[in-house]
């Protein structure tokens, strides 16, 4: 059994309830000759698929293939993964980490830190100015009045002399995964409306969306250059747009990735209009290109 680092705030009954509903994780090195199979069975809820992919992404593992299937309120994910040089996973500590992390993705621990979020127009020297403000305000100590001062000063730094988008700051005690939160902030800032799409080329993602009326799904197909964290970036966008992935197939061949998703809104309905279909295409293209263009690092 995988040992869990429980927060001190939980009592024994709460721990028991969590364990009874925890995902079941199986890691197998024997089935496939070139990849390690990571299988996750869990009750379906919005966002849990993204959290499972996030665990693999944080370890810089490559997802070569994946099969996602949902049956009622339960789902099963099968990921074919390797390390960055294409080998199966043999490090026992890595395997234990995957088992523990995926087995506890329902828990939602926080680390007690304060998250400071900034949204504004980028410019040369911006990061240095932000760090200078934080250093001047001795931000290792958090107080209510200090938070107001920090936000006010950083908002002025973000505005600069040529503010295209409104400068925004926010703080939270619930610290979200850093790259996950960056996607949320960019989506909330509607970056898909103002970021220019790359000219059509072999590296530009091709996204198509059509409805499967008989089954009530919208089918999304993506063809693009394969890269690290591709699936994570796509799932971030789908989750932020309030879509649920019920079935999916992910394949890679050489440096290309081919992905097919069967999705619905969280209320169970498919995409309902042409403007919505175009928005899905645009948002997915931008989510794929963010990291490729070094906006998200």
For the stretch 17-50, pLDDT in tens is 556 667 889 999 999 999 999 999 988 778 888 8
Q: Tell the CATH superfamily of the 12-103 domain.
A: ACT domain (3.30.70.260)
The whole-angstrom separation of Cα 170 and Cα 116 is 6
pTM of the model: 0.70
Q: Tell the CATH superfamily of the 206-292 domain.
A: ACT domain (3.30.70.260)
Q: Is the dihedral of CA 289, 246, 251, 57 positive or negative?
A: positive
- The rounded percent of the chain whose pLDDT value lies above 70 is 61
The chain-wide mean pLDDT, for the chain, equals 78
Question: Which whole-number Å values give the CA distances from 291 to 48, 75, 100, 216, in the listed order?
Answer: 22, 29, 28, 32
CB 50 within 8 A of CB 244: no
Q: Is the dihedral of CA 148, 152, 153, 154 positive or negative?
A: positive
All CATH 3.30.70.260 domain ranges of the chain, comma separated, are 12-103, 206-292
60-69, 121-130, 230-239, 267-276, range with the lowest pLDDT: 121-130
Q: What is the pLDDT of residues 99-118, one digit of tens each?
A: 988 877 654 444 445 556 66
């Amino acid at each position: 059994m995988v040992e869990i680092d429980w927060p001190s705030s939980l009592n024994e009954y709460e721990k028991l309830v969590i364990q009874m509903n925890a995902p079941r994780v199986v890691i197998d090195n024997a089935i496939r000759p070139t990849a390690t199979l990571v299988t996750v069975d869990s009750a379906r809820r919005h966002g849990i698929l993204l959290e499972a992919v996030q665990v693999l992404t944080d370890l810089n593992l490559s997802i070569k293939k994946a099969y996602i299937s949902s049956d009622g309120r339960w789902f099963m994910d099968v990921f074919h993964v390797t390390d960055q040089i294409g080998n199966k996973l043999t490090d026992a500590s890595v395997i234990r980490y995957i088992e523990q992390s995926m087995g506890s993705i329902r828990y939602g621990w926080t680390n007690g830190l304060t998250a400071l979020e900034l949204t504004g127009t980028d410019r040369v020297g911006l990061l240095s100015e932000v760090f200078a403000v934080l250093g001047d305000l001795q931000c290792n100590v958090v107080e209510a009045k200090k938070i107001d001062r920090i936000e006010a000063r950083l908002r002025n730094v973000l505005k600069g002399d040529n503010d295209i988008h409104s400068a925004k700051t926010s703080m939270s005690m619930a610290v979200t995964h850093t790259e996950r939160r960056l996607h949320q902030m960019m989506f909330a800032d509607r970056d898909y409306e103002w970021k220019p799409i790359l000219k059509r080329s072999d590296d530009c993602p091709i996204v198509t969306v059509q409805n499967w009326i008989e089954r009530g799904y919208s089918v999304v197909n993506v063809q693009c250059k394969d890269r690290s964290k591709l699936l994570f970036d796509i799932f971030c966008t789908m989750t932020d747009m309030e879509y649920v992935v019920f079935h999916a197939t992910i394949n890679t061949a050489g440096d290309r990735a081919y992905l097919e998703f069967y999705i619905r809104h969280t209320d169970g309905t498919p995409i309902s209009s042409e403007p919505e279909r175009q928005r899905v295409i645009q948002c997915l293209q931008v989510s794929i290109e963010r990291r490729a263009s070094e906006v998200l690092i």
